[in-house]
Amino acid sequence: MMNIITTIDELQKVIKEMKTQNKQIGFVPTMGYLHEGHRALMKKAREENDVVVLSIFVNPLQFGPNEDLESYPRDFVRDQDAASAEGVDIIFYPTPAEMYPEELSVTIQVRKRTDALCGASRPGHFDGVATVLTKLFHLVQPDRAYFGKKDAQQAAVVEGLVKDFNFPLQVVPVDTVREPDGLAKSSRNVYLSEKERKEAPALYRSLQLGEELIDSGETNPETVISAIKDKILTETSGEIDYVNLLSYPNLENMDTIQGTCIIALAVKFSKARLIDNIILTREQEEA
């Protein structure tokens, strides 16, 4: 029987009981409106833990003043069905007033891995993510926490948070789940018009083109980025927010493509901003 908890007090009481029984806890933090990407995280958590905790909380701290906080899609009944189908034991479903009963006296500022990709155009976003995750990690006390690779920058920031603050948990990255045509699953895909939905798979194809160029020996990041941008502009009506090729997980610029890197993009359509990425490793040439 799945337990739906809405208060911090009750959650702490239940988690304390789990810990006295030495149960391994897997944690999937989400903002709800669950799709197959979230299901993949829940599945992985179910396989690896005694107890699975799912949080559903649209965190106001990570939305900027002109972003879609109020219109962010919500459907708790549907989310319950998805969570139940994946064997979730506990849904933590707090209100903003429960999580933030008064203005915080301490917040977290993320200093690295945020000045590129989405972080560059969303100042304060990852501070909000890190602050809410710090609260949630303390409340849930998970052994493992699951994050999708689709938001690879968030995964990198979370790994830094866990390492810097010595949280006794393992961050488990899970591969991006895609539609049959390659489009990354996202709660925001519902905002695409019919025409935009047909164009959107070109984003992943453009990333695959970049990967092919690197596999064939291209070492200049600008050459790869230019080819990806050309494909997006030719095959979609979207406006490019960014296309970047950076080291991963440190998210730093490279003069030459080597080691583990990420090709990441964000493209704005009329009512949706879509992100996607590929993480790959280029072996260094022997001297």
**148 a known binding residue?**
yes
Q: Say whether 174 counts as a known binding-site residue.
A: no
Helix axes 76-85, 36-48, angle to 10 degrees: 40
Q: Is 33 annotated as a binding residue?
A: yes
Rg (CA), the chain: 20
The reply, when asked if residue 146 is annotated as ligand binding, is no
Note whether 281 and 259 are within 8 A (CB). Answer: yes
Q: Please indicate if the annotation marks 79 as binding a ligand.
A: no
Task: Answer yes or no: is 32 a known binding residue.
Answer: yes
Structure tokens at 162: 């866990």
User: Is residue 21 marked as binding?
Assistant: no
Which tokens is 62 given? 């990570």
d(CA 35, CA 54): 13
CA dihedral 158, 89, 141, 175 (to 10 degrees): -20
> Dihedrals φ, ψ of 65, to 5°?
-60, -25
284 annotated as belonging to a binding site for a ligand: no
Which two tokens mark 57? 């909380």
Is 187 among the annotated ligand-binding positions?
yes
Which residue is catalytic, options 15, 25, 30, 38?
A: 38
Strands of the chain, DSSP E: 3-5, 25-30, 51-56, 90-92, 144-148, 170-174, 239-247, 259-268, 273-282
149 in a labelled binding site: yes
19 HSE (CA, 13 A, CB side): 12
Residue 24 annotated as binding? no
100 is in an annotated binding site: no
Provide the 3-class DSSP secondary structure of residue 51.
strand
Q: What is the largest CA-CA distance in the chain?
A: 60
42 is in an annotated binding site: no
- Establish whether 35 is an annotated binding residue: yes
Establish whether 238 is an annotated binding residue: no
Verify cis geometry, omega within 30 degrees of 0, for the bond prior to 249: yes
Annotated catalytic, 38?
A: yes
Distances in Å between the Cα of 196 and the Cα atoms of 11, 186, 201, 232 are 42, 14, 9, 12
270 is in an annotated binding site: no
The annotation status of 132 as a binding-site residue, yes or no, is no
Catalytic residues: 38
Annotated binding site for beta-alanine: 62
Q: Residues forming the annotated binding site for (R)-pantoate? A: 62, 154
Binding site residue list: 31-38, 62, 148-151, 154, 177, 185-188
User: Which positions make up the binding site for ATP?
Assistant: 31-38, 148-151, 177, 185-188
